[in-house]
Amino acid sequence: MPPTTSDRPADWWRQAVVYQVYPRSFRDLDGDGLGDIAGVTERLPYLQRLGVDAVWLSPFYPSALADGGYDVDDHRDVDPRLGTLEQFDDMVAEAHGRGIKVIVDIVPNHTSDRHAWFQEALASPPGSPARDRYVFRDGTGPDGSRPPSDWMSHFGGPAWTRVPDGQWYLHLFAQEQPDLNWAAPEVRADFLDTLRFWSDRGVDGFRVDVAHALAKDLSEPLRNYGGVHPDALTELPIDGSHPLFDRDEVHEIFREWRKVLDSYDPPRSAVAEAWVTTSRRVLYARPDELGQAFNFEFLVSPWSAEQFRVEIDGALSAAAAAGASATWVLSNHDVVRHRSRYALPAGTDLNGWLLSGGTTPEPDDEVGLRRARAATLLMLALPGSAYVYQGEELGLPEVADLAPEVLQDPIWARTGRVEKGRDGCRVPLPWTRTGPSFGFGGAHPWLPQPAGFGELSAEAQDGVEGSTLELYRAALRLRRELGGDESLQWVDAGPTALTHVLHLRRSTGWASVTNLSAADVALPAGEVVLTSGPLGDGTLPPDTTVWLRPAAS
């Protein structure tokens, strides 16, 4: 019996492989152009065969889609275009029957402007309790016609919008996403109810959107910060002193959440989306808070053995010190897909590249795919949880040439068409070689797919030796079989900066070796169990990862 991560069923999430479904782009069973819940249910056998431990569904709640569903009208319902609560329950039951856990997205920083609370706030006078659930303020300047502070929206433009009676409301994202006031007891209580609502329906865990923004310093006068967002991974103060992000008080909120999550058997898991530096990030992941927090430093690391090692060591030791388990992400619905990132020269301005329609600089797709596969095997060899974004198992590239008129991401319009946004990683999945929308669903998917998508479809790769889909399937199966605790040991052939090789060993004895140099390196001893690309004669070629088991003596 190979040793596994933990025998406690309650700890299933500590080293899970979680597959992110972006529901509107996954599978459109009713053919209306938008993916749906029934489509997820239909594809559970595919996910089971892929070997994932859990699915995380991005928001499927009623929404006008001003921000791809992260503008939530009602946190406790299903968008009628995506299905019903009954269909959601069926999906959960079917997933559980197949040994797959279900994680849902919780969006506590804001609601949509169509939410009953916000409608009530608009219909209520300044100073009313209904307005106090959000952040309404009088403007500045002689007639209050200037925003209350210089705070900017992440999506461009001021973070304040004026309402007809002259007050302004805060929205750190689109104007259709008014920020909630987490100092209001009713807001706090309501989210506890939402956690209970989904937990009662059998949901196993939660992904917490913009966890680091809930607690804000709204004392008067509001503190300007110079009108530019700090880069959250590198520039946010680490003492919690920013008025909007990563304030220490935010942890009280998650300690309250943990009590609710722990009132279930098994306790519900949670993972924070907090774009903050490692030392601050793990605070969200403490056992009395959420348990995990996404590590984005691994994702933004350049293709460098030294840098990857710094990120891996930093994440593992910080997680261990906090009593959390580490997390790894290469792609998600907010970033350029990793196959395309790795196809571009180091330091490429990704937005500039998107604006050029994916032509300048010219990506080297072959290198991109090779590195993406190698990075994936490296990620899946690490202790902790790996979050896999739908379509990366097909090796999908970013769709960089979407025409301006089809773009849906609010970033495009709000930045005055300066930032192209995130639509290119959200294009509906290709399931079949041919046919309407390559098997996604109806003839008119909500974002157009590129002509060659069918060749990357699940159908085209199924059973094909060496395909990216088969690589993921094999990797997930082996990862489970080979096991290992949450520790990692480096096998040093010399300083990583000089060898450009990442050779790590897990507690059960198996090893992963990635060659990030430009030349072949000698293949270490051991039985090869999986490789991201062809091996040479006793050598590991550049941009390749191999998994090794100790050779039988």
| Out of 28, 36, 53, 67, the residue judged to bind ligand NOJ by CB under 6 A | 67
| Out of 74, 334, 365, 520, the residue judged to bind ligand NOJ by CB under 6 A | 334
The active-site residue out of 71, 79, 105, 209 is 209
Closest residue to bound ligand NOJ by CB? 70
What separation in angstroms does the CA of 178 have from each of 63, 70, 101, 314? 14, 11, 31, 35
CB of 107 vs ligand NOJ, minimal distance in Å: 6
Query: Which of 70/389 has CB closer to ligand NOJ?
Result: 70
What separation in angstroms does the CA of 550 have from each of 159, 369, 430, 512, 529? 56, 28, 38, 11, 10
Judging by DSSP bridges, how do beta strands 488-490 and 511-515 pair with one another? Answer: unpaired
Whether the CB-CB separation of 60 and 22 falls below 8 Å is answered with no
Q: What are the tokens at 212? A: 């680091």
Sheet holding 511-515, edge to edge: 488-490, 501-506, 511-515, 544-549, 527-531
334: annotated active-site residue:
no
| Residue where the block lists tokens 């299933």 | 12
Q: Can you tell me the distance from the alpha carbon of 272 to that of 285, in angstroms, rounded to the nearest whole number?
A: 7
176: annotated active-site residue:
no
Q: Is 423 in the site for ligand NOJ (CB under 6 A)?
A: no
Binding track over 252-291 against ligand NOJ, x by CB under 6 A: ---------------------x------------------
Torsion of CA 493, 499, 501, 505, to 10 degrees: 20
Q: Is 293 in the site for ligand NOJ (CB under 6 A)?
A: no
H or E, element range at 410 = helix 410-414
Query: Which of 198/296 has CB closer to ligand NOJ?
Result: 296
CB of 64 vs ligand NOJ, minimal distance in Å: 14
Q: Can you tell me the distance from the alpha carbon of 458 to that of 305, in angstroms, rounded to the nearest whole number?
A: 31
Query: Which of 107/152 has CB closer to ligand NOJ?
Result: 107
Q: Is 173 in the site for ligand NOJ (CB under 6 A)?
A: yes
The active-site residue out of 176, 273, 392, 423 is 273
Q: Is 488 in the site for ligand NOJ (CB under 6 A)?
A: no
Q: Is 510 in the site for ligand NOJ (CB under 6 A)?
A: no
Q: Is 107 in the site for ligand NOJ (CB under 6 A)?
A: yes
- The region that residue 552 occupies, defined by phi over 0 for left and psi between -120 and 50 for alpha, beta otherwise, is beta
Cα angle 29, 90, 389 (rounded to 5 degrees) comes to: 60
Q: Is 94 in the site for ligand NOJ (CB under 6 A)?
A: no
Query: Which of 173/308 has CB closer to ligand NOJ?
Result: 173
Catalytic residue annotation: 209, 273
Q: Which residues bind ligand NOJ (CB under 6 A)?
A: 67, 70, 107, 173, 209-210, 273, 333-334
